[in-house]
Amino acid sequence: MDKAAITAVLVSRLVAAQFPLWAHLPVSRVELDGWDNTTFRLGEDLSIRLPSADGYVAQVDKEHRWLPVIAPHLPLPIPEPLAKGAPGCGFPRPWSVYRWLSGGHATVERVADLDRFAADLGDFLAALYEIDPADGPAPGAHNFFRGGPLTTYDSEAREAISALSGEVDTDAATEVWEAALAARWHGPSVWAHGDVTASNLLVVDGRLSAVIDFGCSAVGDPACDVTIAWTFFLGDSREAFRNRLPLDDGTWARGRGWALWKALITLVETLKLDGAQTDGTDLRMGWRLSARQVIDEVLADHSRLR
């Protein structure tokens, strides 16, 4: 089923058929929808998440299994699964009902103090990394190998660098990428969120209030979680974020690699689509900067710290 076919009418039918106690509640689209799932609000206190493609189905069971385990150890709310729906009414995949979390997705305009916000996020991730990872899911296709080695995306990154000759400093990009590959993870596996971006961070009264969407979570290398340092934070806020994280220079280098890979492939795709100097981002990405600007930030940060 195409994402566009996942409508409020369909969701109402699914709820009425499988959870009649909620059948009277209105269904409405959320302010900012994602790629992996289509999300709706159900009444005032609930939300519905439906995988938008078969590749995201494994995330349903993972969140139901693990979010209740890690939630008590975290300083901020995370999604609370309440019920699991089954395929039906023409929708071919399992789906979930969660408790609604208040707040708007993070933007620079909504955040009262960006340095404080960065520190709060760092504290949240530090707490996540302290949670017992025993029996947690290893990185794999279910989360696009977040928490796994950067070598997974080596060919893709190098192809993107080659394709962007004349658009970016390809020698510097190759240097940053190779430095990231060389900085191997030797620490114990920890819980990684996998998709720490502003669109997955909620804000109430200017403060970080909740962290959502653990579909890309796994137990492994936390470097993938620090990409927000270059996509959303700048200057003092970047330092405030890093100073709250129990991570070494090698993890920071791998984080630059994750950010560089994503920005490179995003810019390549943008140039393929329209050939223009557009920013190559989408609100759902939660990036404050364009893909080209993220590349510049990553290269400059590497040059400054090497």
CATH code of the domain covering residue 56: 3.30.200.20
Q: What is the pLDDT of residues 203-212, one digit of tens each?
A: 999 999 999 9
The pLDDT assigned to 1 comes to 78
Give residue 269's domain range. Answer: 105-305
Q: Are 162 and 78 members of one domain?
A: no
Provide, rounded to the nearest whole percent, the portion of the chain with pLDDT above 90: 89
The pLDDT assigned to 305 comes to 76
The pLDDT assigned to 49 comes to 96
As a whole number, the mean pLDDT across the chain is 94
What pLDDT band is residue 168 in, cutting at 50, 70 and 90? very high
Q: What is the pLDDT averaged over residues 14-41?
A: 92
The pLDDT assigned to 275 comes to 58
Q: Are 175 and 289 members of one domain?
A: yes
Q: Are 285 and 199 members of one domain?
A: yes
Q: Does residue 15 carry a pLDDT above 90?
A: yes
Q: Are 251 and 134 members of one domain?
A: yes
Q: Does residue 24 carry a pLDDT above 90?
A: yes
Q: Which residues pair with 46 in a beta bridge?
A: 42, 99
Q: Are 182 and 289 members of one domain?
A: yes
The pLDDT assigned to 151 comes to 97
Distances (CA, A) of 66 to 183, 248, 255: 29, 27, 24
| End residue of a domain, out of 66, 101, 136 | 101
Q: Are 88 and 120 members of one domain?
A: no
| End residue of a domain, out of 76, 101, 126 | 101
Of residues 12, 10, 36, the one with CA closest to residue 24: 12
Q: Are 78 and 119 members of one domain?
A: no
Q: What is the pLDDT of residues 280-305, one digit of tens each?
A: 566 668 899 999 999 999 999 999 87
- Token pair 């962007």: residue: 164
| Overall number of domains in the chain | 2
Q: What is the pLDDT averaged over residues 80-84?
A: 98
Q: What is the pLDDT averaged over residues 47-62?
A: 95
Q: Which residues pair with 168 in a beta bridge?
A: 165
The pLDDT assigned to 273 comes to 75
Q: Are 259 and 121 members of one domain?
A: yes
Q: What is the pLDDT averaged over residues 81-87?
A: 98
The pLDDT assigned to 278 comes to 56
The pLDDT assigned to 196 comes to 98
Task: Please give the structure tokens belonging to residue 295.
Answer: 């590349």
Of residues 180, 166, 141, the one with CA closest to residue 262: 180
The pLDDT assigned to 277 comes to 53
3-state secondary structure of 172: helix
Q: What is the pLDDT of residues 174-203, one digit of tens each?
A: 999 999 999 999 889 999 999 999 999 999
| CATH classification of the domain holding 258 | 3.90.1200.10
3-state secondary structure of 63: helix
Q: Are 17 and 114 members of one domain?
A: no
Q: Are 296 and 159 members of one domain?
A: yes
Q: What is the pLDDT averaged over residues 108-117?
A: 97
Q: Are 69 and 139 members of one domain?
A: no
Q: Are 93 and 112 members of one domain?
A: no
| End residue of a domain, out of 85, 101, 117 | 101
The Cβ of residue 184 has, within 10 Å, a number of other Cβ atoms equal to 12
